[in-house]
Amino acid sequence: MLADGTRMVRIEATSLDGPMVGKFLSAEKFERSLPGGVALADFALATDLAGLPQLGWWGDWRAPALGDMVLRPDPATGVAEPGAGDTVGFLGSFTDQEGTPLPVCPRSLLSAQVARLAALGYDVRCAFELELFVLEESIAEARALGFKRLTPLGGHDPKPLYVMQRAPEYLPLMRAATQRLEQMGITWEAFNDEAAPGQFELNLAPADPMTAADWTVRAKRALREAAYEHGHAVTFMAKPFATYGSGMHLHLSLWRDGAPVFDGDDEVLGQWVGGLLATMAGAMSILVPTINSYRRQVDFAAVPTTPTWGEDNRGAAVRTIRPAAGGARVEHRLGAADANPYLVLATILAGGLAGLEERIDPPDPVTHLPWGVPDGQPRLPSSITAAADALAADERLAKALGDGFVEHWIESRRWEWLMFHSEGGDPDAHDATDWELRRYFEWV
């Protein structure tokens, strides 16, 4: 599997909360570990972002005495590591000792939904939009400050959107990041200055779902590493500052026999949207996963707060886009930047699939901006616990994603809530608390 001259292998995968976990192996050790993969302690998937073991529940996938799981490399993900010609990088999936995918493995969860779609004769093309903040400080300086009182690149003062005149300030970092993407075979399309000071958006090219998610986690890494080299820190926290928050929108189109489906089949598009909306409250727990994510969920902040869809409507959670020249697609606008791309995509595919399988009609589209709706109209869950309760009540997502994952996820969100409240998190805070900055800044 390795080219001549390779002396080191980097193998990694995301934990449920998003950080990449894995190992560096000598080429010889890597070759010996095939085809199964390399052992990691299974509590890597059952500790929180502060490294505490999550107590309160138990998944049958876990060994009773902190045993091993296996990180199996996906050969298709092998790339020469940027700037390290003797190192090859792989992404992988978590299995048990016998090679069976773990029910909580993010990549395997996505793979299962892709297989379900394929069984219905559909392919998916999709692309993530990544939003992030770049800081004036380096990551070492940010850590030393406890991630507080940091300065967004360009300062705190409000500014217009899409501004180009500060390009000299951010171009060196973004040039380095996009070069890393190209070295890893990742096709990027655009990047731009975003609404908040120091906020940027990176657009990746459409790809099949697994490739799109793989590219996204590697793009986050490329941005972090480029920032490190240029003396800056970046964060994918959903709401590190009081300004606009960061999302992770997903553009998606359905294909059959090599032809786009949404361009000509309104019924399928409607059912897809119907499924997304029918599962949206429960999906929110996965798409908007942290205590900090919910600080972004405010009206009139370019974030969906209602379970709605509309034609070219950026206020709705689902925006359908039908250019005259073709290329109809759905933009799912709910995902927060701190969500796990594999889980986001698996959950969205599961929702769309439910719509197709059950022929779920969508509600009427909204033509207005659905923010600040009067009391009594449907709204999305507004807290990590309310979203976890909604997921617990969603039989469609439990069936599609599996009880093993859904139960683990729900308990992990309740654990997150418990840690916030019992470790000094301020329930009245309007902006990110010290607890959130310490817990999420570097790791989501």
Partner 1 sequence: MDGNLPMVVRDDDAPLLVRVLAASLGRAAARPKVARDLRRLRGRVGLRSTVGPQAATIAFAGRVVRVTHGAGPDVDVLIEGDLETMGRPGATKPKVSGAVRHPRLALGAGRVLDAGPPGGWRGAVDTLWDWAQGDDGLPELLRVVCQDDGGEHVVGRPGGTQVEVHGPEWALAAVFTGADHLGAALLEGRVQAVGDLPELSRFVGLLTRFMLGEKGAR
Contact 97, 112 (CB under 8 A): no
Contact 197, 157 (CB under 8 A): yes
273 versus 406: smaller Cβ distance to partner 1? 406
Interacting residues with partner 1 between 60 and 79 (CB under 8 A): 62, 64-66
Asked whether position 298 contacts partner 1 by CB under 8 A, the answer is: no
Residue from 55, 115, 119, 164 touching partner 1 (CB under 8 A): that is: 55
182 versus 426: smaller Cβ distance to partner 1? 426
Asked whether position 383 contacts partner 1 by CB under 8 A, the answer is: yes
287 versus 392: smaller Cβ distance to partner 1? 392
CB of 410 to partner 1, least distance (A): 9
Asked whether position 429 contacts partner 1 by CB under 8 A, the answer is: yes
Angle (CA) 208 306 298, round 5°: 100
CB of 23 to partner 1, least distance (A): 24
Amino acid identity, residue 302?
A
Asked whether position 385 contacts partner 1 by CB under 8 A, the answer is: yes
CA 331 to centroid of chain Cα atoms: 15
60 versus 257: smaller Cβ distance to partner 1? 60
Interface segment toward partner 1; rule CB under 8 A; list 52-60, 78-86, 125-133, 436-444: 52-60
CB of 407 to partner 1, least distance (A): 9
Asked whether position 52 contacts partner 1 by CB under 8 A, the answer is: yes
CB of 60 to partner 1, least distance (A): 9
Asked whether position 56 contacts partner 1 by CB under 8 A, the answer is: yes
Asked whether position 57 contacts partner 1 by CB under 8 A, the answer is: yes
Asked whether position 393 contacts partner 1 by CB under 8 A, the answer is: no
43 versus 371: smaller Cβ distance to partner 1? 43
Contact 241, 141 (CB under 8 A): no
Asked whether position 422 contacts partner 1 by CB under 8 A, the answer is: yes
Asked whether position 411 contacts partner 1 by CB under 8 A, the answer is: yes
3 versus 66: smaller Cβ distance to partner 1? 66
Asked whether position 386 contacts partner 1 by CB under 8 A, the answer is: yes
Asked whether position 426 contacts partner 1 by CB under 8 A, the answer is: yes
**Separation of alpha carbons 108 and 103, rounded Å:** 8
CB of 412 to partner 1, least distance (A): 12
3-state secondary structure the chain: CCCCCCCEEEEEEECCCCCEEEEEEEHHHHHHHCCCCEEEEHHHHCECCCCCECCCCCCCCCCCCCCEEEEEECHHHCEECCCCCCEEEEEEEEECCCCCECCCCHHHHHHHHHHHHHHCCCEEEEEEEEEEEEECCCHHHHHHCCCCCCCECCCCCCCCCCCCCCHHHHHHHHHHHHHHHHHCCCCEEEEEECCCCCEEEEEECCECHHHHHHHHHHHHHHHHHHHHHCCCEEECCCCCCCCCCCECCEEEEEEECCEECCCCCHHHHHHHHHHHHHCHHHHHHHHCCCCHHHHCCCCCCCCCCCCCEEECCCCCCEEEECCCCCCCEEEECCCECCCCHHHHHHHHHHHHHHHHHHCCCCCCCCCCCCCCCCCCCCCCCCCHHHHHHHHHCCHHHHHHHCHHHHHHHHHHHHHHHHHHHHCCCCCCCCCCCHHHHHHHCCCC
**How many residues belong to the site for partner 1 (CB under 8 A)?**
24
281 versus 353: smaller Cβ distance to partner 1? 281
24 versus 58: smaller Cβ distance to partner 1? 58
Interface segment toward partner 1; rule CB under 8 A; list 175-183, 232-240, 348-356, 427-435: 427-435
Interacting residues with partner 1 between 230 and 269 (CB under 8 A): none
Asked whether position 96 contacts partner 1 by CB under 8 A, the answer is: no
111 versus 433: smaller Cβ distance to partner 1? 433
55 versus 115: smaller Cβ distance to partner 1? 55
Asked whether position 418 contacts partner 1 by CB under 8 A, the answer is: yes
Residue ranges that bind partner 1, judged by CB under 8 A: 52, 55-58, 62, 64-66, 382-383, 385-386, 411, 417-418, 421-422, 424-429
